[in-house]
């Protein structure tokens, strides 16, 4: 009876421990690293067309090649959300393709 209780208590303890560290790992916290990759100021369409990405966790635009934020590991947004800027972004991308094709 006593042994069973101990095992149950131990299982609960392990579960709490795993949950605690799991939350720590998943939680996205700004570490201040993003400041080093801060992108120059452009309008939203121009930013994304220039390869800048938005981290919603750090609330910052950064110049970064990866899809994950180097600072908080949150997934970066690489395309504009706003329709107006999205059209602007696509027209810029098309323009870039035309230039590349012309070369
Ligand atoms: Zn950050
Ligand atoms: Zn971030």
Q: Which residues make beta-bridge pairs with 68?
A: 75
CA 75 to ligand 2 centroid distance, Å: 8
pTM (2 decimals)? 0.64
CA 9 to ligand 2 centroid distance, Å: 38
Q: Which of 39, 48, 38 is nearest to 96 (CA)?
A: 48
- Read off the pLDDT of residues 32-80 as tens digits, 9 standing for 90 and up: 999 999 999 988 788 999 999 999 999 999 999 999 999 999 999 998 8
Q: Is 59 helix (H, G, I), strand (E, B) or coil?
A: coil
CA 66 to ligand 2 centroid distance, Å: 12
How confident is the model at residue 15, as a pLDDT?
87
How confident is the model at residue 58, as a pLDDT?
94
- Answer yes or no: are the C-beta atoms of 80 and 86 closer than 8 Å: yes
Q: What are the backbone dihedrals phi and psi of residue 63, each rounded to the nearest 5 degrees, phi first?
A: -95, 105
């Amino acid at each position: 009876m006593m042994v069973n209780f101990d095992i149950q208590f131990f299982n609960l303890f392990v579960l709490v421990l795993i949950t605690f560290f799991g939350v720590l790992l998943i939680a996205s916290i700004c570490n201040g690293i993003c400041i080093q990759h801060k992108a120059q100021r452009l309008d939203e369409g121009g930013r994304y067309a220039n390869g800048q990405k938005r981290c919603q966790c750090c609330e910052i635009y950064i110049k970064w090649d990866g899809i994950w934020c180097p600072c908080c590991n949150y997934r970066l947004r690489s395309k504009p959300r706003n329709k107006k800027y999205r059209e602007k972004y696509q027209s810029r991308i098309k323009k870039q393709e035309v230039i590349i094709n012309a070369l």
